[in-house]
Structure 1
Amino acid sequence: MRHGKTEWSSQNRFAGWADAPLSAAGVQEAHGAGRSLAATGLEFDLYCTSYLSRAVKTLEIILEELDQPEAQIERSWRLNERHYGALQGFNRAKMALQHGNDQVAAWRRSFTAEPPPLPDGDPRLPALDPLYAGIDPALLPRSESLEQAAARVAPWWRDFLAPRLSQGRNALVVAHTSSIRGLVREIEGLSGEEAAEFRIATALPVIYTLDTELKVTDKQELIAGWSSRLRKFINRHKPGTRISWI
């Protein structure tokens, strides 16, 4: 599941690894998703999320709705959102005016285009953030393409999640569009083109059932109520590669 809506989304800003907080609407979305999951009767024994507070807070709200507020949460930087490099924190429309719509659209939508990287000494560099002090700085990005962000998730899937699923555990993963794209790419075996087209609405759970070889036997979106239906509709009908600021 993707985290709930953030304050930065209403400001049309590139968030990436910046710690954009949930908005009031995002908190409501998280509660709704938690109630929907609780109503399914599904039982989880593994809860995973990123280092970013918008995903952590979304998962904590869901755990409240699941009556599991004390559950252990496994956090990984590999589940962080795509790093938007020098675009991070800026308004999308303003960046389109500065760099040109086609260029920003390519940075956002192309699977391989990488935004301008952060320079040495930039305070936005993850290597300068105490949150990532225990991680090899060489692994931390200055900018990422969609492809690089998706590839960052592959070792987490291979070394952490897949072995636990093979043991029969049920996992709830709350993360971000780009990291979920990477996860879905591994689960479904998507091509680069298919992965680039992947979209997921905020706080709309997608439930996978896997067999003993971790092949997908069922997939369903957990849609409950008009709010989640509207989010799905808007997400699916966003413009493609031509408009950069939406």
Structure 2
Amino acid sequence: MTTILLSALRQQRCSAHSASNRPTPPFQTRAVSTLILLRHGQSQWNNPNPRFTGWVDIPLTVKGRVEAVGAGQLLRSRGFKASRVDVAFTSKLQRAHETCELALASMAGPHQHTWSSDRIRRLEGLNERHYGIVQGKKKNDPDVLNTYGNDTVRSWRRSLRGKPPPLDETHEHWMPPPAPTTESLLDCQRRVLGAFHDHIAPALFEEEGLPHHPDERAVVVVAHSNTIRSLMAAFDNVPDESVPKLHVPNSVPILYKFDTATRLPVSSKLQSAAGGSHARWLVSAENHREVRKAITGHTLIRGIFESLDIDNNRDLSAAEIDRGLREYLKEDEKLDCVTVAVAKKVAREMSPRETISLQSFEERALAAAQGLTAPHAKESYFDHDPGSMVLDEQFP
């Protein structure tokens, strides 16, 4: 499936840029456009007993609205003010649309005139995966498990091709065509990539009349877990069997930067749960606990470094590390991530005027994580992936 998705992306870029095969001179600055992916905030069916929400139009919780505002504030603090966003895409479902509105208003801050809701485009193709006859049911509903069996239900949720039986007009959540009656993850991916190919990619790379030239364009997509998972699988060339390992938390910004000539991601691949990823996650003191459930290893280390790097110069001073760690510990007094523990150790060993580079920080964090063995550490989320290990005791 990933091959199909990548093929669609390559066809999209080749049609408009026949000269992109020429090598770029080493002195030439690469033109880059930015795609910001954001899952909606917590909805009323996400917690505490989550349901198969799918296409049911469920609103955000109060927590979900706070998460959306927080995501916008985080983006603004990292240089993405609303005025930088050319267009935003979201689904037809209110939980995604409201998240989009709140995040962009937060990105605008006191300068609300810099953003207009007219630049939000709603696409049915970005709707969440349709869950057929179980749509609206709790995921641990004993009737569903007894009727279909644990293995079958697991295949619906964790495989690419498994899908629940279709619903019909007697179902309370039935919708008339063109709405689907059920979908596998594979079906959802094909629909989402169609929306990217037809609507999002043109806005990112070639549409005229937007505030910024494609060489410095930023486009936001606010959607759903399986929607964003589908896009990430395509951008990162994730093997089919690894796609279900992709986890997308609520309201955590995920950035992809594209070469506008080749229309391919430009950031180097970092280690992730589903293999290498070009994504850069915006980690913060407020969201790091959820982020650590989704990413590990090199990707997590890079995210934490960038959250501490206030002036964005790819070097950390002891003062920056100390300031950032205070924010992390303020949110979580029992913070036990190896990478953060390494940052503490580095800060203690640095002189006031000394700095540590991104490369050195990453090398030390990876070495520390790989050097930890039981009983000093346990792997918390994914097997054989350093960087997110949980310490059983304070890092020495």
Query: What TM-score do the two structures reach when normalised by structure 1?
Result: 0.86
**2:116 aligned to which of 63, 67, 70:** 70
**1:56 is the counterpart of 2:97:** yes
Residue in 2 that maps onto 1:134: none
Q: Which has the larger radius of gyration?
A: 2
* In structure 1, distance between residues paired with 2:195 and 2:77: 29
**1:114 aligned to which of 163, 187, 193:** 163
Kindly provide the amino acid, as one letter, of the partner of residue 18 in structure 1.
V
- Going from structure 1 to structure 2, the CA distance change for 1:232 and 1:85 (only over 3 Å counts) comes to same
CA apart distance, 1:235 = 4.4
Residue in 2 that maps onto 1:175: 223
CA apart distance, 1:63 = 1.4
Kindly provide the amino acid, as one letter, of the partner of residue 181 in structure 2.
R
* In structure 1, distance between residues paired with 2:237 and 2:50: 32
- Show structure 1 runs of 5+ residues with no match: 128-136, 241-246
Partner SS, residue 85 of structure 2:
coil
**1:92 is the counterpart of 2:139:** yes
CA contact (8 A) 2:163 2:182 kept: yes
CA contact (8 A) 2:136 2:173 kept: no
Partner SS, residue 181 of structure 2:
coil
* In structure 2, distance between residues paired with 1:75 and 1:194: 29
**1:222 aligned to which of 272, 282, 306:** 282
**1:164 aligned to which of 196, 203, 227:** 203
**1:32 aligned to which of 66, 70, 82:** 70
CA apart distance, 1:18 = 0.5
Residue in 2 that maps onto 1:200: 248
Query: What TM-score do the two structures reach when normalised by structure 2?
Result: 0.55
Residue in 2 that maps onto 1:211: 259
Partner SS, residue 124 of structure 1:
coil
* In structure 2, distance between residues paired with 1:153 and 1:30: 22
**1:104 is the counterpart of 2:153:** yes
Q: How much identity, in percent, do the aligned residues show?
A: 34
For these two proteins, the number of residue pairs brought into alignment is 229
Alignment root-mean-square deviation, CA: 2.0
* In structure 2, distance between residues paired with 1:123 and 1:100: 23
Q: Which protein, 1 or 2, shows the higher relative CO under an 8 Å CA cutoff with sep ≥ 6?
A: 1
CA contact (8 A) 1:147 1:192 kept: no
CA contact (8 A) 1:154 1:182 kept: yes
Partner SS, residue 66 of structure 1:
helix
CA apart distance, 1:215 = 0.9
Kindly provide the amino acid, as one letter, of the partner of residue 70 in structure 1.
S
Partner SS, residue 140 of structure 2:
helix
* In structure 2, distance between residues paired with 1:32 and 1:183: 23
